[in-house]
Protein backbone atom coordinates (compact mmCIF):
# COMPACT_ATOMS: atom_id res chain seq x y z
CA UNK A 1 0.00 0.00 0.00
CA UNK A 2 1.49 3.33 -0.87
CA UNK A 3 2.03 6.19 1.51
CA UNK A 4 -0.60 8.54 0.07
CA UNK A 5 -3.30 5.89 0.36
CA UNK A 6 -2.24 5.41 3.97
CA UNK A 7 -2.37 9.14 4.62
CA UNK A 8 -5.86 9.27 3.11
CA UNK A 9 -6.93 6.55 5.56
CA UNK A 10 -5.25 8.47 8.37
CA UNK A 11 -7.29 11.53 7.45
CA UNK A 12 -10.52 9.55 7.63
CA UNK A 13 -9.48 8.14 10.97
CA UNK A 14 -8.59 11.61 12.26
CA UNK A 15 -11.92 12.99 11.09
CA UNK A 16 -13.67 10.16 12.85
CA UNK A 17 -11.64 11.11 15.93
CA UNK A 18 -12.96 14.66 15.65
CA UNK A 19 -16.57 13.44 15.38
CA UNK A 20 -16.01 11.14 18.35
CA UNK A 21 -14.39 13.93 20.40
CA UNK A 22 -17.04 16.46 19.40
CA UNK A 23 -19.72 13.86 20.17
CA UNK A 24 -18.30 13.49 23.68
CA UNK A 25 -18.57 17.26 24.16
CA UNK A 26 -22.21 17.21 23.02
CA UNK A 27 -22.88 14.28 25.37
CA UNK A 28 -21.18 16.17 28.21
CA UNK A 29 -23.30 19.25 27.49
CA UNK A 30 -26.51 17.18 27.56
CA UNK A 31 -25.49 15.39 30.75
CA UNK A 32 -24.37 18.52 32.60
CA UNK A 33 -27.38 20.50 31.36
CA UNK A 34 -29.86 17.84 32.48
CA UNK A 35 -28.08 17.55 35.83
CA UNK A 36 -28.37 21.30 36.47
CA UNK A 37 -32.07 21.30 35.67
CA UNK A 38 -32.75 18.27 37.88
CA UNK A 39 -30.68 19.74 40.68
CA UNK A 40 -32.53 23.05 40.64
CA UNK A 41 -36.00 21.90 39.72
CA UNK A 42 -36.28 18.83 41.95
CA UNK A 43 -33.58 19.70 44.44
CA UNK A 44 -31.96 16.38 43.66
CA UNK A 45 -28.21 16.02 43.43
CA UNK A 46 -27.12 13.19 41.19
CA UNK A 47 -23.52 14.32 41.08
CA UNK A 48 -20.72 13.14 38.89
CA UNK A 49 -21.69 15.00 35.73
CA UNK A 50 -18.81 17.45 36.17
CA UNK A 51 -16.34 14.62 36.66
CA UNK A 52 -17.55 12.84 33.52
CA UNK A 53 -17.41 16.09 31.53
CA UNK A 54 -13.78 16.50 32.61
CA UNK A 55 -13.02 13.02 31.26
CA UNK A 56 -14.88 13.95 28.06
CA UNK A 57 -12.65 17.00 27.60
CA UNK A 58 -9.42 15.04 28.13
CA UNK A 59 -10.44 12.29 25.70
CA UNK A 60 -11.91 14.71 23.13
CA UNK A 61 -8.69 16.72 23.17
CA UNK A 62 -6.37 13.82 22.36
CA UNK A 63 -8.78 12.38 19.77
CA UNK A 64 -9.05 15.80 18.12
CA UNK A 65 -5.32 16.54 17.94
CA UNK A 66 -4.68 14.56 14.75
CA UNK A 67 -7.57 16.14 12.84
CA UNK A 68 -6.40 19.59 13.88
CA UNK A 69 -2.89 18.72 12.71
CA UNK A 70 -4.03 17.42 9.31
CA UNK A 71 -6.22 20.50 8.87
CA UNK A 72 -3.11 22.54 9.71
CA UNK A 73 -5.04 24.36 12.41
CA UNK A 74 -2.40 24.29 15.15
CA UNK A 75 -1.50 27.96 15.53
CA UNK A 76 1.84 29.20 14.21
CA UNK A 77 3.23 32.72 14.11
CA UNK A 78 3.99 33.22 10.43
CA UNK A 79 5.01 36.90 10.31
CA UNK A 80 8.58 35.99 9.38
CA UNK A 81 7.81 32.67 7.70
CA UNK A 82 5.94 34.21 4.77
CA UNK A 83 9.00 36.27 3.82
CA UNK A 84 11.39 33.31 3.78
CA UNK A 85 12.53 31.42 0.67
CA UNK A 86 10.24 28.43 0.07
CA UNK A 87 12.95 25.87 0.79
CA UNK A 88 13.83 27.40 4.14
CA UNK A 89 10.13 27.69 5.02
CA UNK A 90 9.63 24.04 4.06
CA UNK A 91 12.51 23.00 6.31
CA UNK A 92 10.95 24.97 9.20
CA UNK A 93 7.65 23.19 8.55
CA UNK A 94 9.36 19.86 9.03
CA UNK A 95 11.32 20.88 12.14
CA UNK A 96 8.18 22.38 13.67
CA UNK A 97 6.26 19.15 13.12
CA UNK A 98 9.16 17.14 14.57
CA UNK A 99 9.18 19.35 17.69
CA UNK A 100 5.42 18.92 18.03
CA UNK A 101 5.82 15.14 17.83
CA UNK A 102 8.73 15.33 20.27
CA UNK A 103 6.84 17.21 22.97
CA UNK A 104 3.63 15.22 22.66
CA UNK A 105 5.70 12.04 22.46
CA UNK A 106 6.97 12.87 25.92
CA UNK A 107 3.43 13.72 27.07
CA UNK A 108 2.27 10.34 25.74
CA UNK A 109 5.10 8.48 27.47
CA UNK A 110 4.35 10.05 30.84
CA UNK A 111 0.63 9.88 30.16
CA UNK A 112 1.01 6.14 29.70
CA UNK A 113 2.81 6.17 33.06
CA UNK A 114 -0.28 7.75 34.65
CA UNK A 115 -2.49 5.06 33.10
CA UNK A 116 -0.11 2.26 34.16
CA UNK A 117 -0.04 3.54 37.74
CA UNK A 118 -3.85 3.70 37.88
CA UNK A 119 -3.99 0.14 36.56
CA UNK A 120 -1.44 -1.12 39.08
CA UNK A 121 -3.03 0.43 42.16
CA UNK A 122 -6.60 0.15 40.86
CA UNK A 123 -7.18 3.91 41.26
CA UNK A 124 -10.71 5.24 41.53
CA UNK A 125 -11.81 8.87 41.32
CA UNK A 126 -12.48 10.58 44.66
CA UNK A 127 -16.06 11.54 43.76
CA UNK A 128 -19.26 9.65 44.68
CA UNK A 129 -19.06 7.98 41.27
CA UNK A 130 -15.72 6.41 42.15
CA UNK A 131 -14.95 5.87 38.46
CA UNK A 132 -12.13 3.39 37.85
CA UNK A 133 -9.63 5.82 36.35
CA UNK A 134 -8.17 3.26 33.94
CA UNK A 135 -11.25 3.53 31.72
CA UNK A 136 -11.05 7.25 30.82
CA UNK A 137 -7.26 7.20 30.97
CA UNK A 138 -7.04 4.28 28.53
CA UNK A 139 -9.18 6.17 25.99
CA UNK A 140 -7.09 9.27 26.61
CA UNK A 141 -3.79 7.46 25.98
CA UNK A 142 -5.20 5.72 22.89
CA UNK A 143 -6.01 9.18 21.50
CA UNK A 144 -2.45 10.33 22.15
CA UNK A 145 -0.95 7.24 20.49
CA UNK A 146 -3.28 7.66 17.52
CA UNK A 147 -2.13 11.26 17.19
CA UNK A 148 1.55 10.29 17.34
CA UNK A 149 1.09 7.58 14.71
CA UNK A 150 -0.70 9.92 12.31
CA UNK A 151 1.72 12.78 12.95
CA UNK A 152 4.71 10.52 12.31
CA UNK A 153 3.16 9.28 9.09
CA UNK A 154 2.63 12.90 8.04
CA UNK A 155 6.25 13.74 8.93
CA UNK A 156 7.58 10.85 6.81
CA UNK A 157 5.37 11.74 3.85
CA UNK A 158 6.34 15.43 4.04
CA UNK A 159 10.05 14.66 4.41
CA UNK A 160 9.81 12.42 1.35
CA UNK A 161 8.18 15.25 -0.60
CA UNK A 162 10.98 17.60 0.45
CA UNK A 163 13.68 15.14 -0.61
CA UNK A 164 11.97 14.70 -3.99
CA UNK A 165 11.76 18.47 -4.35
CA UNK A 166 7.97 18.31 -4.47
CA UNK A 167 7.45 21.56 -2.56
CA UNK A 168 3.80 21.86 -3.62
CA UNK A 169 2.78 18.64 -1.89
CA UNK A 170 4.98 19.53 1.06
CA UNK A 171 3.22 22.86 1.50
CA UNK A 172 -0.22 21.29 1.13
CA UNK A 173 0.59 18.75 3.84
CA UNK A 174 2.40 20.76 6.50
CA UNK A 175 2.77 24.39 5.35
CA UNK A 176 1.37 27.26 7.37
CA UNK A 177 -2.20 27.91 6.30
CA UNK A 178 -2.64 30.85 3.96
CA UNK A 179 -5.34 33.43 4.42
CA UNK A 180 -7.64 31.98 1.79
CA UNK A 181 -7.35 28.47 3.17
CA UNK A 182 -8.04 29.81 6.65
CA UNK A 183 -11.28 31.35 5.45
CA UNK A 184 -12.35 28.36 3.43
CA UNK A 185 -12.18 26.40 6.67
CA UNK A 186 -13.95 29.10 8.66
CA UNK A 187 -16.74 29.51 6.16
CA UNK A 188 -17.45 26.12 4.65
CA UNK A 189 -21.17 26.39 5.00
CA UNK A 190 -23.23 26.67 1.84
CA UNK A 191 -26.47 26.47 3.81
CA UNK A 192 -25.75 29.96 5.15
CA UNK A 193 -25.54 31.46 1.70
CA UNK A 194 -28.98 30.02 1.09
CA UNK A 195 -30.56 31.49 4.19
CA UNK A 196 -28.85 34.83 3.54
CA UNK A 197 -30.53 34.88 0.16
CA UNK A 198 -33.82 34.05 1.82
CA UNK A 199 -33.56 37.00 4.20
CA UNK A 200 -32.66 39.33 1.36
CA UNK A 201 -35.77 38.23 -0.48
CA UNK A 202 -37.92 38.93 2.58
CA UNK A 203 -36.73 42.51 2.98
Partner 1 sequence: MIWVTLALLLGLLALSFPVAAVLGIVGLALDQLYAFLPLYLSLGEMTWGASTDVILVAIPMFVLLGEILLRAGIAERMYAAMSHWLSWLPGGLMHSNIGACTLFSAVSGSSVATAATIGTVALPEIEREGYEPRFFLGTVAAGGTLGILIPPSINMIVYGVLTDTSIPQLYLAGMLPGLVLALLFMATVLIGCWLRPAWGGKTRRSTWRARFRALPDLVPPLLIFLLVIGSIYAGLATPTEAASLGVIAALVLAAWRRKLTVAMMKRALEGTMRTSAMIMAILIAATFLNFVLTGIGLTSQVNALVTDLGLTPMQTLLLVVLFYLVLGMFMETLTMMVATVPIITPVIVGLGFDPVWFGVLIMLLVETAMITPPVGINLFVVQGVRGTGQIHDVMIGAAPFVVTLMVMIALLILLPGIALVLPEALAR
Is 95 a binding residue for partner 1 by CB under 8 A? The answer is: yes
Is 58 a binding residue for partner 1 by CB under 8 A? The answer is: yes
Q: Which stretch binds partner 1 (CB under 8 A): 1-9, 156-164, 165-173, 183-191?
A: 183-191
Question: Among residue numbers 6 through 35, which ones bind partner 1 (CB under 8 A)?
Answer: 15, 17-19, 21-23, 25-26, 28-33, 35
Residues 6+ apart with CB under 8 A from 108: 141, 144, 145, 147, 148
Least distance (Å) between residue 2 CB and partner 1: 26
Task: Kindly tell me which residue out of 44, 145, 149, 183 binds partner 1, with binding defined by CB under 8 A.
Answer: 183
DSSP H helices, 48-85, are 49-70
**CB-CB neighbours of 19 under 10 Å:** 12
**CB-CB neighbours of 74 under 10 Å:** 13
Is 201 a binding residue for partner 1 by CB under 8 A? The answer is: no
CA distance 78 to 81: 5
Is 137 a binding residue for partner 1 by CB under 8 A? The answer is: yes
Amino acid sequence: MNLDRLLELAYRLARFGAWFGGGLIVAAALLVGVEVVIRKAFNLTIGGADELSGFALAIATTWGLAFTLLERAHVRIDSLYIHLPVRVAALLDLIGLALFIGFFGLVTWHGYGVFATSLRVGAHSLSPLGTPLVIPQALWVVGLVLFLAIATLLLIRAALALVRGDLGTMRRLVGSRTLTEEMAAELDRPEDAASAAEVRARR
